[in-house]
Amino acid sequence: MSATVLDRLDHLPRRNLTVLALRGISSLVPGGWTNQTSADELIADVLGSDDPELVAQVRSRADALNLSRHEGYRRALSLYDAVNRSQKAAGGLRVLANVAGALPLVKRLATLTPASQTLQAVDLSLKVGAEMLAFTQVNGLPGDSFAAFGASLTEYASEARVRMAALVCFDALLPLGDNALHRLDALLGQVSSHELHQLPSYAGMASLLPGRGDTAHLAFLRRGVDHWLGWADGFVGELGLSGQRAVRALETTLGPWHGGMEQLATFLDAFTDTYAHTGVQAVARRLVERAAAEI
């Protein structure tokens, strides 16, 4: 990854399916979400000043931190990128060509065949695992800092909070139903090594997970999910999230959806980059906050 985090922020799309999906789901989250696509504007916002010289100083310091081998910013971003590639691979396998679309915004949308519920649960656990590992990289913590990760979720705001709302809605409530969070551990307990290797997302993430072999990886993922669930259950209750509310929110930006919820989840996997998009924004914000504090 040659581009710096701030370079990547400058090149994020201002409007595409990912942005529209995030805008839709952010309507359910207090404080919403701003699609930040300018490093200089982010720096000015963090500083509370748009003085060009000061902005340039902070950007220079941020780029130096980004490029340091001892810092975890690039490694954190590589985790979000891995999730994104794996998500598209998994979604793409379930898209069969040339059947009338369910979404007017897309001229040709395939028939969408959801994965089994156990594989959906593993896919969700991989994203939670990537989120935890990215958190530890940015904060210089060991990769097994489960308790610190669970505690940090209460402090998530802006793009990080909306990413979690998208994760809960797109990867739990839509494909697995409104009681998804209460079924996750049982579903993960049913996963075999054979099923695990059917997932492109596991193939893409396995080398990044702590431990050796499928058993160790599943144990890590289940433990990460366990710490995430305590927060996620309260988050769902606090915001009154449900699959139907998620669909209605997405329809305000994407247009009417005429398929099932599981199909919508598969569509979002195949055609949006919510994790990578908000991951760049979140890592950039943390990087700028540190750089500004050091100037």
Q: What does the angle CA 43 – CA 45 – CA 48 come to, to the nearest 5 degrees? A: 105
For the chain, the domain total comes to: 1
pLDDT digits (tens, 9 = 90+) for 53-62: 999 999 999 9
Which pLDDT band holds residue 108 (cuts at 50, 70, 90)?
very low
Rounded to two decimals, what is the model's pTM?
A: 0.88
Which pLDDT band holds residue 52 (cuts at 50, 70, 90)?
very high
Note the pLDDT of residue 90.
Answer: 55
Higher pLDDT, 92 or 118: 118
d(CA 232, CA 165): 9
Counting residues of the chain whose pLDDT is more than 90, the rounded percentage is: 69
Note the pLDDT of residue 110.
Answer: 41
pLDDT digits (tens, 9 = 90+) for 178-195: 999 999 999 999 888 888
d(CA 170, CA 262): 9
Average pLDDT, the chain: 88
Q: Is 256 exposed, middle or buried (0-12, 13-18, 19+ CB in 10 A)?
A: exposed
Domain span holding position 136: 5-294
Note the pLDDT of residue 106.
Answer: 47
What Rg, from alpha-carbon coordinates, does the chain have?
A: 19
Note the pLDDT of residue 235.
Answer: 97
Bridge partner residues of 111 (DSSP):
96
d(CA 128, CA 2): 26
d(CA 102, CA 202): 29
* Residue 34 structure tokens: 């701003």
pLDDT digits (tens, 9 = 90+) for 132-155: 999 999 999 988 899 999 999 999
pLDDT digits (tens, 9 = 90+) for 203-223: 878 888 998 899 999 999 999
d(CA 77, CA 99): 36
Higher pLDDT, 42 or 82: 42
The answer for residues whose C-beta is within 8 angstroms of residue 233's C-beta and 6 or more apart is 181, 182
Note the pLDDT of residue 87.
Answer: 67
